Structure 1
Amino acid sequence: MCAISTGIYLNSAELQALHERESELFHLYVAGLRKHMNLATGIVDCCSYYSLAEDIRSAGRPGVAAKSYSKEQIRRMLAQLIDIGLLKKCGSSQQLAFACLLADRSNESPPEFGSCKA
Protein backbone atom coordinates (compact mmCIF):
# COMPACT_ATOMS: atom_id res chain seq x y z
CA MET A 1 0.00 0.00 0.00
CA CYS A 2 1.18 3.48 -0.79
CA ALA A 3 1.63 6.08 1.92
CA ILE A 4 -0.18 9.36 1.52
CA SER A 5 1.57 12.47 2.72
CA THR A 6 -0.28 14.44 5.38
CA GLY A 7 -0.22 17.65 3.41
CA ILE A 8 0.39 18.73 -0.16
CA TYR A 9 2.36 21.88 -0.85
CA LEU A 10 2.47 23.13 -4.43
CA ASN A 11 5.23 25.60 -5.18
CA SER A 12 4.92 28.52 -7.58
CA ALA A 13 6.57 26.62 -10.45
CA GLU A 14 3.97 23.84 -10.21
CA LEU A 15 1.11 26.33 -9.98
CA GLN A 16 2.44 28.28 -12.96
CA ALA A 17 2.70 25.09 -15.06
CA LEU A 18 -0.93 24.27 -14.22
CA HIS A 19 -2.19 27.83 -14.71
CA GLU A 20 -4.97 28.07 -17.29
CA ARG A 21 -4.95 24.31 -17.89
CA GLU A 22 -8.04 22.13 -17.66
CA SER A 23 -9.23 21.52 -14.11
CA GLU A 24 -8.92 17.77 -14.72
CA LEU A 25 -5.14 18.16 -15.11
CA PHE A 26 -4.89 19.99 -11.80
CA HIS A 27 -7.05 17.36 -10.12
CA LEU A 28 -5.02 14.48 -11.57
CA TYR A 29 -1.71 16.08 -10.58
CA VAL A 30 -2.74 16.94 -7.02
CA ALA A 31 -5.28 14.25 -6.05
CA GLY A 32 -3.92 11.45 -8.19
CA LEU A 33 -0.17 11.90 -8.15
CA ARG A 34 1.23 14.44 -5.69
CA LYS A 35 -0.56 12.93 -2.71
CA HIS A 36 1.46 9.75 -3.31
CA MET A 37 4.80 11.45 -4.02
CA ASN A 38 7.80 10.35 -1.98
CA LEU A 39 8.84 13.63 -0.37
CA ALA A 40 12.52 12.69 -0.30
CA THR A 41 12.83 11.63 -3.94
CA GLY A 42 9.96 13.33 -5.80
CA ILE A 43 8.92 9.95 -7.22
CA VAL A 44 5.39 8.56 -7.50
CA ASP A 45 5.58 4.82 -8.12
CA CYS A 46 2.47 3.35 -6.59
CA CYS A 47 -0.28 4.19 -9.00
CA SER A 48 -2.30 2.47 -11.67
CA TYR A 49 -4.64 3.83 -14.31
CA TYR A 50 -7.52 2.46 -12.25
CA SER A 51 -6.36 4.15 -9.02
CA LEU A 52 -5.80 7.45 -10.82
CA ALA A 53 -9.25 7.28 -12.38
CA GLU A 54 -10.76 6.58 -8.94
CA ASP A 55 -8.81 9.44 -7.37
CA ILE A 56 -10.23 12.00 -9.79
CA ARG A 57 -13.71 10.57 -10.29
CA SER A 58 -16.43 12.98 -9.20
CA ALA A 59 -19.70 11.78 -7.76
CA GLY A 60 -22.91 13.05 -9.23
CA ARG A 61 -25.44 15.17 -7.41
CA PRO A 62 -28.85 16.53 -8.34
CA GLY A 63 -28.49 18.39 -11.59
CA VAL A 64 -24.83 17.41 -12.10
CA ALA A 65 -23.79 14.16 -13.74
CA ALA A 66 -21.06 11.99 -12.27
CA LYS A 67 -17.74 12.19 -14.10
CA SER A 68 -15.41 9.24 -14.57
CA TYR A 69 -12.36 8.75 -16.77
CA SER A 70 -11.20 5.93 -19.00
CA LYS A 71 -7.66 4.55 -19.11
CA GLU A 72 -7.14 6.34 -22.42
CA GLN A 73 -8.29 9.67 -20.97
CA ILE A 74 -5.90 9.23 -18.03
CA ARG A 75 -3.08 8.42 -20.48
CA ARG A 76 -3.76 11.59 -22.44
CA MET A 77 -3.83 13.71 -19.28
CA LEU A 78 -0.54 12.16 -18.08
CA ALA A 79 0.99 12.92 -21.48
CA GLN A 80 -0.11 16.55 -21.11
CA LEU A 81 1.47 16.74 -17.63
CA ILE A 82 4.69 15.39 -19.15
CA ASP A 83 4.50 17.88 -22.05
CA ILE A 84 4.15 20.88 -19.72
CA GLY A 85 7.16 19.75 -17.70
CA LEU A 86 5.54 18.61 -14.46
CA LEU A 87 6.26 14.89 -14.84
CA LYS A 88 8.84 12.54 -16.29
CA LYS A 89 7.95 8.90 -16.94
CA CYS A 90 10.11 6.49 -14.95
CA GLY A 91 10.64 2.77 -14.80
CA SER A 92 9.70 0.19 -17.40
CA SER A 93 6.91 0.39 -19.92
CA GLN A 94 4.89 -1.94 -17.68
CA GLN A 95 5.32 0.26 -14.60
CA LEU A 96 3.37 3.45 -14.03
CA ALA A 97 5.87 5.67 -12.19
CA PHE A 98 6.75 9.34 -12.49
CA ALA A 99 9.20 11.92 -11.21
CA CYS A 100 7.52 15.17 -10.19
CA LEU A 101 10.09 17.46 -11.79
CA LEU A 102 8.98 20.79 -10.33
CA ALA A 103 7.94 19.61 -6.86
CA ASP A 104 9.99 20.55 -3.82
CA ARG A 105 11.72 17.63 -2.16
CA SER A 106 12.93 17.17 1.38
CA ASN A 107 16.52 16.55 0.25
CA GLU A 108 18.95 18.22 -2.11
CA SER A 109 20.12 15.21 -4.12
CA PRO A 110 18.37 14.39 -7.40
CA PRO A 111 15.89 11.54 -7.15
CA GLU A 112 16.59 8.20 -8.78
CA PHE A 113 14.15 5.54 -9.83
CA GLY A 114 15.57 2.81 -12.02
CA SER A 115 16.49 4.68 -15.17
CA CYS A 116 14.79 7.89 -14.04
CA LYS A 117 16.53 10.92 -12.62
CA ALA A 118 14.60 14.12 -12.21
Structure 2
Amino acid sequence: MSVNKKGRRKIVCNARLFYWYVQPDYDDCGQIKLNIVSDDKKWIVSYEVGQSKNPKTPHIVIKGREFEGLDRSGWQGWMRVQTPIWKDTIITPELVKTIIEWCFHKKERLIVVDWKGEII
Protein backbone atom coordinates (compact mmCIF):
# COMPACT_ATOMS: atom_id res chain seq x y z
CA MET A 1 0.00 0.00 0.00
CA SER A 2 1.48 3.33 -1.01
CA VAL A 3 1.56 6.63 0.84
CA ASN A 4 -1.33 9.08 0.71
CA LYS A 5 0.11 11.81 -1.53
CA LYS A 6 -2.68 14.35 -1.11
CA GLY A 7 -1.39 17.45 0.67
CA ARG A 8 2.12 16.03 0.90
CA ARG A 9 5.31 17.49 -0.52
CA LYS A 10 7.72 15.25 -2.36
CA ILE A 11 11.48 15.13 -1.91
CA VAL A 12 14.12 12.80 -3.35
CA CYS A 13 17.08 12.19 -1.09
CA ASN A 14 19.73 9.47 -1.30
CA ALA A 15 18.06 8.25 -4.53
CA ARG A 16 14.89 7.51 -2.56
CA LEU A 17 11.46 9.13 -2.65
CA PHE A 18 9.98 10.64 0.52
CA TYR A 19 6.83 12.60 1.30
CA TRP A 20 6.60 15.21 4.02
CA TYR A 21 3.97 17.41 5.61
CA VAL A 22 3.51 19.63 8.64
CA GLN A 23 0.36 19.46 10.74
CA PRO A 24 -0.85 19.74 14.34
CA ASP A 25 -0.91 16.50 16.33
CA TYR A 26 -4.14 16.68 18.30
CA ASP A 27 -3.17 13.56 20.27
CA ASP A 28 -0.19 15.58 21.58
CA CYS A 29 -1.93 18.80 22.66
CA GLY A 30 -1.88 20.20 19.12
CA GLN A 31 1.92 20.34 18.86
CA ILE A 32 3.05 21.10 15.29
CA LYS A 33 4.83 18.07 13.81
CA LEU A 34 6.91 17.54 10.71
CA ASN A 35 6.13 14.06 9.39
CA ILE A 36 8.38 12.37 6.84
CA VAL A 37 7.61 8.99 5.27
CA SER A 38 9.34 6.94 2.60
CA ASP A 39 7.36 5.88 -0.45
CA ASP A 40 7.38 2.24 0.72
CA LYS A 41 6.35 3.25 4.30
CA LYS A 42 9.25 1.37 5.90
CA TRP A 43 10.87 4.59 7.13
CA ILE A 44 8.62 6.98 9.06
CA VAL A 45 9.67 9.75 11.45
CA SER A 46 8.01 12.63 13.21
CA TYR A 47 9.76 15.74 14.51
CA GLU A 48 8.19 18.38 16.75
CA VAL A 49 8.69 21.82 15.24
CA GLY A 50 10.38 24.46 17.41
CA GLN A 51 12.48 22.17 19.61
CA SER A 52 15.54 24.36 19.03
CA LYS A 53 13.98 26.89 21.44
CA ASN A 54 13.63 24.32 24.26
CA PRO A 55 16.32 23.87 26.91
CA LYS A 56 16.31 20.08 26.41
CA THR A 57 18.10 18.36 23.54
CA PRO A 58 15.66 17.79 20.66
CA HIS A 59 14.50 14.34 19.67
CA ILE A 60 12.83 12.61 16.76
CA VAL A 61 10.14 9.94 16.94
CA ILE A 62 10.85 6.82 14.89
CA LYS A 63 7.61 5.20 13.78
CA GLY A 64 8.82 2.97 10.97
CA ARG A 65 10.77 -0.29 10.96
CA GLU A 66 13.84 1.20 9.27
CA PHE A 67 16.36 3.57 10.88
CA GLU A 68 20.16 3.65 10.49
CA GLY A 69 21.99 2.36 13.55
CA LEU A 70 18.89 1.17 15.37
CA ASP A 71 18.12 -2.45 16.18
CA ARG A 72 14.33 -2.75 16.36
CA SER A 73 14.34 -6.40 17.38
CA GLY A 74 12.50 -6.84 20.65
CA TRP A 75 11.20 -3.26 20.62
CA GLN A 76 7.56 -2.56 19.92
CA GLY A 77 5.99 0.80 19.32
CA TRP A 78 7.63 4.11 18.63
CA MET A 79 11.16 5.02 19.65
CA ARG A 80 12.57 8.43 20.36
CA VAL A 81 16.21 9.38 19.88
CA GLN A 82 18.10 12.61 20.46
CA THR A 83 19.01 14.68 17.43
CA PRO A 84 21.32 17.60 16.71
CA ILE A 85 19.86 21.07 17.16
CA TRP A 86 18.48 22.26 13.84
CA LYS A 87 17.07 25.67 12.94
CA ASP A 88 13.48 24.48 12.99
CA THR A 89 11.30 27.57 13.40
CA ILE A 90 10.46 27.44 9.69
CA ILE A 91 10.22 24.10 7.91
CA THR A 92 11.90 24.18 4.51
CA PRO A 93 12.80 21.44 2.03
CA GLU A 94 16.44 22.01 3.04
CA LEU A 95 15.63 21.17 6.68
CA VAL A 96 13.68 18.09 5.59
CA LYS A 97 16.67 16.96 3.52
CA THR A 98 19.02 17.58 6.48
CA ILE A 99 16.83 15.46 8.78
CA ILE A 100 16.61 12.61 6.25
CA GLU A 101 20.38 12.65 5.67
CA TRP A 102 21.05 12.64 9.43
CA CYS A 103 18.70 9.71 9.91
CA PHE A 104 20.48 7.65 7.23
CA HIS A 105 23.99 8.67 8.31
CA LYS A 106 25.97 6.12 10.35
CA LYS A 107 26.09 7.22 13.97
CA GLU A 108 28.45 6.07 16.71
CA ARG A 109 25.69 5.94 19.27
CA LEU A 110 21.99 6.71 19.42
CA ILE A 111 20.64 8.14 22.66
CA VAL A 112 17.15 6.79 23.31
CA VAL A 113 14.80 9.07 25.25
CA ASP A 114 11.30 8.79 26.69
CA TRP A 115 8.29 10.85 25.63
CA LYS A 116 9.46 13.78 27.77
CA GLY A 117 12.93 13.78 26.19
CA GLU A 118 14.60 12.28 29.28
CA ILE A 119 17.42 9.80 28.60
CA ILE A 120 16.39 6.20 29.23
TM-score bucket of the superposed structures, by smaller chain: under 0.3
- More strand by percentage: 2
TM-score when scaled to structure 1? 0.27
